[in-house]
Amino acid sequence: MGLDIRPLRADDEADWRRLWASYIEFYESSVPEEVYATTFKRLINENRPQQNGLIATLDGVPVGLVHYIYHAHNWQLEDTCYLQDLYADPGVRGKGIGRALIEAVYKAADENGTPNVYWMTQEFNATARQLYDRVARLTPFIKYSR
């Protein structure tokens, strides 16, 4: 069977929830139940093409996910793509899951006519940054938040 990357489906909710909860825990954060339920509904809603989710399966077992959002950009005519969440189970890291998920977002963005894909990570996320340094360009921007 090997590695498969595909859009989320309604029957993926339990696996998606497990993976996304692990991602949120990695960042020492939490979200209320209502956010889990609403986010999943948005990700599988065909009437919300700006918000998307993919799941990675390895030999039929869900092992990773990525969420990405298209939005307008004032400096270009085309939309831009924000890769918001990327996660692979620790047991499968180093097997190309993260790279495959990023490349799937790149492909989706290209098919959408969206030339720019960007994301953020925390400075301490050294393992993931090794991958990111190979598949993207580090920018000098600093994030501020309210």
In whole angstroms, give the CA distance from residue 9 to residue 15. 11
pLDDT bin (cut points 50, 70, 90) of residue 145 is confident
SS3 content of the chain, % helix, strand, coil (to 5): 40, 25, 35
Q: Is the pLDDT of residue 9 over 90?
A: yes
The pLDDT confidence band at residue 146, using thresholds 50, 70 and 90, is very high
pLDDT in tens, 92-136: 999 999 999 999 999 999 999 999 999 999 898 899 999 999 999
> Which strands form 51-58's sheet, in the order they lie side by side?
3-7, 51-58, 61-71, 80-88, 117-118
Q: Is residue 19 pLDDT above 90, yes or no?
A: yes
Grouping H, G, I as helix, E, B as strand and the rest as coil, residue 57 is: strand
Q: Tell me, what's the pLDDT at 2?
A: 94
Over the stretch 52-79, which tens digit does the pLDDT of each residue have?
A: 999 999 999 999 999 999 999 999 999 9
What's the pLDDT at 92? 95
Q: What is the pLDDT of residue 143?
A: 85
35 has pLDDT over 90: yes
Give the side-chain half-sphere CA count within 13 A for 113. 5
Tell me the percentage of the chain whose pLDDT exceeds 90.
Answer: 90
Q: Is 130 exposed, middle or buried (0-12, 13-18, 19+ CB in 10 A)?
A: exposed
Q: Which two tokens stand for residue 61?
A: 């077992």
- Domain annotation for the chain: domains and CATH numbers: 3-135 (3.40.630.30)
Per-residue burial over 91-101, b if 16 or more Cβ lie within 10 Å, else e, is ebeebebbebb
At residue 1, does pLDDT exceed 90?
no
The chain-wide mean pLDDT, for the chain, equals 96
Residue 139 half-sphere exposure, CB side, CA atoms within 13 Å? 9
